[in-house]
Amino acid sequence: MSKRKAEDTSTDMAAGAEKISTKTNFNIGLAEPLKDYQKLIETKVQVDEIVDDEIIKNNFEGIAAAARDVIWQLLFAGTDGDGGVTTESQQKASELLEEYKGDATFYDPWEYNKWIGKLRDEVLAKELLDFWRNTIVKKQLGPCWSRDCDLFDSDSDTPPLEFYAHGGCTAPFAASLKVRAANNEIRASDASDPESSREAPEGEERSAERSADDEAAFTGVFDAVITRNQPLSEYRDLMSRFVLTDVIVPDEIQQASVKKIAKAAQDIIWQILFEGKPSQEDQDSAADLLQEYKTDSGFYGPWDYNEWIVKLRDEVLAKELLDFWREKIVKLELGPCWSRDSDFFENDDDVPLEFYNKAGCKAPFNPPADA
Amino acid sequence: MSGLRVRGLLALSATALGAFYIGSRTERERLQQSSDVFPRLPGLPSFGTVSAASLVPAANDANLTVSRVSQIMKYGFPGLDHVRSHSDYVLSYDRRNRIPHWVFEHLTEQSVARNDAVDRSKCDFKADESIHPFFRSQNTDYRKSGFDRGHMAAAGNHRLHQKHCEETFYLSNMAPQVGQGFNRDAWNSLEMHVRKLTKSYSNVYVCTGPLYLPHKGEDGKMYVKYEVIGPNTVSVPTHFYKVIVGEAADRKLHMEAYVMPNKVISNDTPLKVFQVPPETVERAAGLLFFDQINRKQLSSINGKKV
């Protein structure tokens, strides 16, 4: 249990929050109302410190009330206070109203929704039809609802269609609501249609052959056959079918499968190199498989490989396949796995340097500096 | 053993039992009186008091009771990380992502019915002070982020009491959700669907939570990528799930599981499209849902007979 109480940290974090006092009067001037308003929101509401939600709420309410007063004044009393409402003051009112609504949708839509009805009635009574059409209707500054506010959702709240149905206007979103209602009807009739329940093609797209492989991978019962024709791709095919499957296979079964395929790889490499004289092509294909097999060993367990590769080397040198020794085993670093090839090893493990010290060769890598 | 000793033993044990009974009774009474200062109980499983054989009536008092938690969590806890219980839902909070791991609800026809005594407009989104400030999300994080404060435990599911509804507005019950086209539309339709299930089932249990699903990058590798918002870096999940179990009157159990992407979903998309096998949600979420039910005992999953 943490000994650190939330309170300790909140006092630290709230140190910066002390400047967020609860003020009772928030001033928004008529000269630059939008700027004044934004500054108040920035400093008293939109703060990153942890401040009691009540304080933020009260501050927003205070600022919102000031904004409402100023909008009312700009629209119905004019900036010079003599009742002459200029386009400039309407413009200011419009900007502030839009900004205030944006914040109201987040902090407190209820108060806005109550007041905007009154504002509309006054606007219509004073016949400010331009403001009605171009600001309130066009910018959708009516009541907050599920379209602009996360305090509403589409089932429990009725869209404020009626609010806009004045002065020859309709809600800008009326058409899309009609489309939606029509869609819902179609959906409802679809839902009652029993035919619409389809079977999902879940898991059935896998071919039967694939699941037979999975079964074999799961039980470990399969024949690992690699021929001289295409040893690398045959090896890869075996690995991908019986080891690299999506089914969850018990560890010991998977290890046995890996061993079985590794044994097949060892046998075919031995066969290609030592039954008769291997052509260049034979040597290439043996080296390709050897490289792939070594890489897999580095992952699944390098111990078998490390033991066997020494025998292979001795046989290669005994049979005097010096090209294969120099060009393949030494050059491609096909000696024992170590920390360069495998996460089974760490940097302080032995480096297989002397493996390569035969027939005038040496390891194709430098020993680590600290070795 | 002499009769005297037996009598002595009997008297002694009767005294002890009586004392224990009186003690536990006064304790119960004390708890009932102080119910309004009830601390937030850790929602620890206490299934002993609940029998799966009895249908649970809707609890009718506004305060959290131990038995309410066990009612809600009847079918097992998906996980036990930072579990909190409210009066009508249980939540596990993901402190790293600042949103829930999961929330669990138990709905009845009564608890989702319209109730004039519950006023949504009195509910405020508020930071959850019971969460350490380092891991708390705030309104500021969500503001102008382009995301809604999306309820995990929906407000419309808790209409028995004002308090139940208000407690769904803690920001610890929120996750950033795409607003129009998701939270207020498609996701809302799914919530309504779950509420509608209470008409066919006596009890509906629902677990809701976020997912952060991987997708293929341009290099062909798989990555998990998601936005974080605000000074508290609140995670924006890529998807959300709901796993639902309905208890029919004949005691049969029916399961449904949905996963929806956190993006605009066209209005004419049927909910069926988002149904997935419950196991896929469990794998993706790292949680087990309704672990106390053997899947073979379900009558149906996503509308198909098991």
Q: Is the pLDDT at B165 greater than 90, yes or no?
A: yes
To the nearest whole angstrom, how far is the Cα of A46 from the nearest Cα of chain B? 6
- How many whole angstroms separate alpha carbon B140 and alpha carbon B125? 11
Q: Which residue of B has its CA nearest to A176?
A: B267
Q: Which residue of B has its CA nearest to A180?
A: B267
Q: Is the pLDDT at B145 greater than 50, yes or no?
A: yes
Do A134 and B134 contact (CB within 8 A), yes or no? Answer: no
pLDDT class of B15 with cuts at 50, 70, 90: confident
Q: What is the mean pLDDT of residues B116-144?
A: 92
For residue A93, the cross-strand partners are none
Please report the pLDDT score of residue A201 as a whole number: 42
Q: Which residue of A has its CA nearest to B113?
A: A156
Cα–Cα separations (whole angstroms), residue B12 to A312, B15, B21, B102: 86, 5, 14, 50
Please report the pLDDT score of residue A183 as a whole number: 74
Selected residues 101-120 of chain A with any CB under 8 Å from a CB in chain B: 106-107, 110
Please report the pLDDT score of residue B158 as a whole number: 95
For residue B103, the cross-strand partners are B91, B208
Q: Which residue of A has its CA nearest to B112?
A: A156
Q: Does A158 touch chain B (CB under 8 A)?
A: no
Selected residues 169-188 of chain B with any CB under 8 Å from a CB in chain A: 179-180, 183-185, 188
Please report the pLDDT score of residue A234 as a whole number: 96
- Per the model's pLDDT, the better-predicted residue between B305 and A203 turns out to be B305
- Show which residues of B are catalytic: 151
- How many whole angstroms separate alpha carbon B98 and alpha carbon B134? 9
Which of B134, B140, B272 is facing A46, going by the closest CB pair? Answer: B140
Q: Of A161-165, B17-21, B228-232, B262-266, which gets the smallest average pLDDT?
A: B17-21
Interchain pair A53, B124: CB under 8 A: yes
Interchain pair B136, A50: CB under 8 A: yes
Residue segments in chain A with a per-residue pLDDT below the cut of 50: 1, 12, 14-18, 194-206
- How many whole angstroms separate alpha carbon B2 and alpha carbon B179? 80
User: In chain B, what percentage of residues exceed pLDDT 70?
Assistant: 84
Please report the pLDDT score of residue B35 as a whole number: 42
Q: Of A129-138, B36-45, B241-250, which gets the smallest average pLDDT?
A: B36-45
Q: Which residues of chain A make contact with B156, given a CB cutoff of 8 A?
A: 153, 155-156
Q: Does B115 touch chain A (CB under 8 A)?
A: no
- How many whole angstroms separate alpha carbon B239 and alpha carbon B213? 7
Interchain pair B130, A6: CB under 8 A: yes
Please report the pLDDT score of residue B11 as a whole number: 75
DSSP classification of residue A325: I
Please report the pLDDT score of residue B16 as a whole number: 72
Do B196 and A155 contact (CB within 8 A), yes or no? Answer: no
Please report the pLDDT score of residue B8 as a whole number: 78
To the nearest whole angstrom, how far is the Cα of A119 from the nearest Cα of chain B? 21
Q: Which residues of chain B make contact with A13, given a CB cutoff of 8 A?
A: 133
pLDDT 10s digits, A184-231: 777 666 655 544 444 444 444 445 666 888 899 999 999 999 999 999
Please report the pLDDT score of residue B9 as a whole number: 75
To the nearest whole angstrom, how far is the Cα of A9 from the nearest Cα of chain B? 7
Q: Does A303 touch chain B (CB under 8 A)?
A: no
pLDDT class of B274 with cuts at 50, 70, 90: very high
Please report the pLDDT score of residue B227 as a whole number: 98
- How many whole angstroms separate alpha carbon A33 and alpha carbon B9? 87
The full DSSP string for chain B is --HHHHHHHHHHHHHHHHHHHHHHHHHHHHHHHTGGG---------GGG--TTSPPPPP-SSS--HHHHHHHTTT--S--TTEEE-SSEEEEEETTTTEEEEEEEEE-HHHHS--TT--GGG---B--TTS-GGG---HHHHTTTTEEEEESS-GGG--S-HHHHHHTTBGGGEEEEEIIIIITTHHHHHHHHHHHHHHH-SEEEEEEEEE---EE-TTS-EE----EETTTTEE--SEEEEEEEEE-TTS-EEEEEEEEESS---TT--GGGGB--HHHHHHHHT--SSTTS-GGG-SEETTEE-
Residue B98's contacts (CB-CB under 8 Å, 6 or more residues apart) are B135, B136, B137, B141, B232, B233, B234, B235
Please report the pLDDT score of residue A247 as a whole number: 85
Interchain pair A147, B121: CB under 8 A: no
Which of A9, A152, A190 is facing B133, going by the closest CB pair? Answer: A9
Selected residues 233-292 of chain B with any CB under 8 Å from a CB in chain A: 267-268, 270, 272, 275, 277
Cα–Cα separations (whole angstroms), residue B7 to B12, B18, B20: 8, 16, 20
To the nearest whole angstrom, how far is the Cα of A199 from the nearest Cα of chain B? 9
End-to-end CA distance of chain B: 61
Which of B121, B133, B134 is facing A110, going by the closest CB pair? Answer: B121
Q: Of A150-164, A319-333, B123-137, B174-188, which gets the smallest average pLDDT?
A: A150-164
Please report the pLDDT score of residue B70 as a whole number: 93
Q: Is the pLDDT at B34 greater than 70, yes or no?
A: no
How many A/B residue pairs have CB atoms within 8 Å?
Answer: 78
Q: What is the mean pLDDT of residues B182-208?
A: 95
The full DSSP string for B62-128 is SS--HHHHHHHTTT--S--TTEEE-SSEEEEEETTTTEEEEEEEEE-HHHHS--TT--GGG---B--
Interchain pair A153, B183: CB under 8 A: yes
Interchain pair B143, A106: CB under 8 A: yes
